Structure 1
Amino acid sequence: MRSLKRALLALTVLASTPLALTPAPAAAQQPAGPERLALTIYNQNLALVEDVRRLNLPAGRSRQEFPGVSASIRPETVSLSGDGLSVVEQNFDFDLLTPDKLMTAAVGDEIGLVRINPATGGETELRARVLAANEGVVLQIGDRIEVLRDDGVPTRVIFDEVPANLRPRPTLSVTLNADRAGTRETTLSYLTTGLSWRADYVIDFDEAAGRMDLTGWITLTNQSGVTFTDADTRLVAGELNMLSGLGGGYGGRNTYGTDSGDAEDLADYYIYPIPERVTVANNQTKQVGLYAATGVPARKRYRSEFSGFGNRQPSSAEVAVVFDNSRASGLGRALPSGIVRVYMDDVGGQSRFVGEDGIGHTSAGAEVAITTGSAFDVTVQTTITDSQVIRIDQNNARTRYEMAYDVRNARREPVTVELRQTGLGRNGRLISESQTGERPNADTRVWQVRVPANGTTRVTATFEIE
Structure 2
Amino acid sequence: MMRRILAMAALVATVLPAAAQQVMTSPAPDGVQVTVYRAPDRGADQPIDANWLAGYALITERRTIDLPAGRAVVRFEGVAGGMFAESAILTGLPGGVREKNLDADLLSPRSLYARALGRPVTIRRTHLKSGRVVEEPAIIRSGPDGAAIVQTRDGFFAADCGPTDDDIVYDGVLPGLSARPTLSVELDSPVAQRVTIGLSYLAWGFDWQADYVATLAPDGRSLDLTAWVTLASGDPTSFVAAETGVVAGRVNREDRRPYREAAAAPLQITCGVAPPPPPPPPSPPLPLPVAAPPIADYAQEIVVTANRVSRKVVQEELGDLKFYRVPFATTVAANAQKQVALLEKSAVPVERYVAIDVFGGGASAPMTMLRVQNRTDRGLGVALPAGQVAVFATEGTRRLLLGEGSVEDKAVGEPVEIGVAPATQVTQEVEAVRSDGDWTDHRLTLRNATPDPVRVEARFRIGDDALSRTSARLGRKDGDAIWIVEVPGNATRALSYRVTAR
TM-score under structure 2 normalisation? Answer: 0.72
Report the counterpart of residue 338 of structure 1 in structure 2: 387
Offset at residue 131 of structure 1 (A): 6.2
Larger Rg belongs to:
1
- CA–CA separation in structure 1 for the residues paired with 2:136 and 2:218: 80
- Answer whether contact 2:26 2:77 (CA < 8 A) is retained: no
Are 2:339 and 1:324 aligned?
A: no
SS at match of 1:332: coil
Report the counterpart of residue 446 of structure 1 in structure 2: 483
Offset at residue 451 of structure 1 (A): 3.1
- CA–CA separation in structure 2 for the residues paired with 1:154 and 1:270: 59
Change (3 A) 1:162 1:454: closer
Report the counterpart of residue 457 of structure 2 in structure 1: 418
Offset at residue 132 of structure 1 (A): 3.6
- Answer whether contact 1:207 1:299 (CA < 8 A) is retained: no
Report the counterpart of residue 213 of structure 2 in structure 1: 202
**Given the alignment, which residue of 184, 188, 191 partners 2:195?**
184
Report the counterpart of residue 28 of structure 1 in structure 2: 23
Report the counterpart of residue 258 of structure 1 in structure 2: none
Change (3 A) 1:147 1:380: closer
Report the counterpart of residue 257 of structure 1 in structure 2: none
Q: What is the aligned length?
A: 423
1:163-211 CA deviation, whole Å, 9 max, x = no partner?
2332223221111233443222111111111111122211111251511
- Answer whether contact 1:118 1:153 (CA < 8 A) is retained: yes
- CA–CA separation in structure 2 for the residues paired with 1:113 and 1:380: 75
Offset at residue 32 of structure 1 (A): 3.9
1:368-427 CA deviation, whole Å, 9 max, x = no partner?
1111123232234456778889xxxxxxxx9796x7654432212223333445646269
User: Mean alpha-carbon deviation: is it higher for 155-164 or for 87-96?
Assistant: 155-164
- CA–CA separation in structure 1 for the residues paired with 2:479 and 2:85: 52
Change (3 A) 1:152 1:368: farther
- CA–CA separation in structure 2 for the residues paired with 1:23 and 1:344: 61
SS at match of 1:30: strand
Report the counterpart of residue 405 of structure 2 in structure 1: 357
- CA–CA separation in structure 1 for the residues paired with 2:208 and 2:399: 28
- CA–CA separation in structure 2 for the residues paired with 1:107 and 1:422: 62
2:137 is aligned with what amino acid? A
- Answer whether contact 1:88 1:175 (CA < 8 A) is retained: yes
- In the alignment, structure 2 segments of 5+ residues that lack a partner are 40-54, 258-313
Are 2:100 and 1:90 aligned?
A: yes
User: Mean alpha-carbon deviation: is it higher for 109-118 or for 355-364?
Assistant: 109-118
SS at match of 1:328: helix
**Given the alignment, which residue of 239, 250, 268 partners 2:250?**
239
Matched ranges for 1:208-357 at <5 A = 208-244=219-255, 263-308=315-360, 317-346=366-395, 349-357=397-405
SS at match of 2:350: strand
- Answer whether contact 1:14 1:156 (CA < 8 A) is retained: no
1:68 is aligned with what amino acid? G
User: Mean alpha-carbon deviation: is it higher for 187-196 or for 422-431?
Assistant: 422-431
- Whose strand fraction is larger, Structure 1's or Structure 2's? 1
Change (3 A) 1:427 1:441: farther
Report the counterpart of residue 137 of structure 2 in structure 1: 128
Offset at residue 38 of structure 1 (A): 0.9
Offset at residue 215 of structure 1 (A): 1.7
- CA–CA separation in structure 2 for the residues paired with 1:163 and 1:31: 21
2:412 is aligned with what amino acid? A
- Answer whether contact 1:299 1:322 (CA < 8 A) is retained: yes
Change (3 A) 1:83 1:437: same
1:46 is aligned with what amino acid? Y
- CA–CA separation in structure 2 for the residues paired with 1:65 and 1:30: 5
**Given the alignment, which residue of 46, 49, 60 partners 2:70?**
60
Change (3 A) 1:456 1:64: same
- Answer whether contact 2:23 2:75 (CA < 8 A) is retained: yes
- Answer whether contact 1:41 1:48 (CA < 8 A) is retained: yes
SS at match of 1:76: helix
1:200 is aligned with what amino acid? D
- CA–CA separation in structure 2 for the residues paired with 1:321 and 1:53: 50
1:211 is aligned with what amino acid? S
**Given the alignment, which residue of 110, 113, 138 partners 2:150?**
138
TM-score under structure 1 normalisation? Answer: 0.77
- CA–CA separation in structure 1 for the residues paired with 2:127 and 2:461: 85
**Given the alignment, which residue of 141, 149, 156 partners 2:159?**
149
SS at match of 2:410: coil
Change (3 A) 1:33 1:96: closer
Offset at residue 456 of structure 1 (A): 3.4
Change (3 A) 1:423 1:77: closer
Offset at residue 105 of structure 1 (A): 5.3
Change (3 A) 1:86 1:152: farther
Change (3 A) 1:59 1:428: same
User: Mean alpha-carbon deviation: is it higher for 337-346 or for 424-433?
Assistant: 424-433
- CA–CA separation in structure 1 for the residues paired with 2:320 and 2:197: 29
Matched ranges for 1:400-419 at <5 A = 406-419=445-458
SS at match of 1:376: coil
Identity of aligned residues (%): 28
1:130 is aligned with what amino acid? I
Offset at residue 114 of structure 1 (A): 6.0
Offset at residue 34 of structure 1 (A): 0.8
Offset at residue 271 of structure 1 (A): 1.1
SS at match of 1:53: strand
- Answer whether contact 1:235 1:271 (CA < 8 A) is retained: yes
Report the counterpart of residue 81 of structure 2 in structure 1: 71
1:319 is aligned with what amino acid? T
- In the alignment, structure 1 segments of 5+ residues that lack a partner are 1-5, 247-261, 390-397
- CA–CA separation in structure 1 for the residues paired with 2:119 and 2:498: 92
Offset at residue 55 of structure 1 (A): 1.4
Offset at residue 101 of structure 1 (A): 4.9
